[in-house]
């Protein structure tokens, strides 16, 4: 199981990086929830550190369709 502190840190890092590149995204955007669920599943599949999870999270966010969120 993934460490909750590492998961929270990874989600915050990925979300901060994503919003820095997409200033039009609201802090409470639904993509944040999608990101957290994705990282939770990713962490359960394979235990990872927060840096690796953050990288997966950033890649995931960039792959989401802009018009469906």
Residue 4 has what pLDDT?
A: 86
Residue 27 has what pLDDT?
A: 93
53 against 2, higher pLDDT: 53
Q: Global pTM?
A: 0.80
Give the HSE-up count for residue 48: Cα atoms under 13 Å, Cβ half-sphere: 21
Spell out the domain ranges in the chain.
4-68
pLDDT band at 66 (very low <50, low <70, confident <90, very high): confident
pLDDT digits (tens, 9 = 90+) for 8-65: 999 999 999 999 999 999 999 999 999 999 999 887 777 668 888 999 999 999 999 8
Tokens of 37: 């669920």
């Amino acid at each position: 199981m993934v460490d909750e502190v590492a998961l929270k840190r990874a989600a915050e890092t990925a979300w901060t990086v994503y919003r820095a590149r997409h200033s039009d995204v609201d802090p409470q955007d639904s993509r944040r929830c999608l990101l957290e669920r994705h990282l939770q599943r990713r962490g359960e599949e394979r235990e990872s550190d927060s840096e690796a999870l953050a990288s997966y999270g950033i890649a995931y966010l960039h792959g989401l369709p802009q018009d469906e969120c």
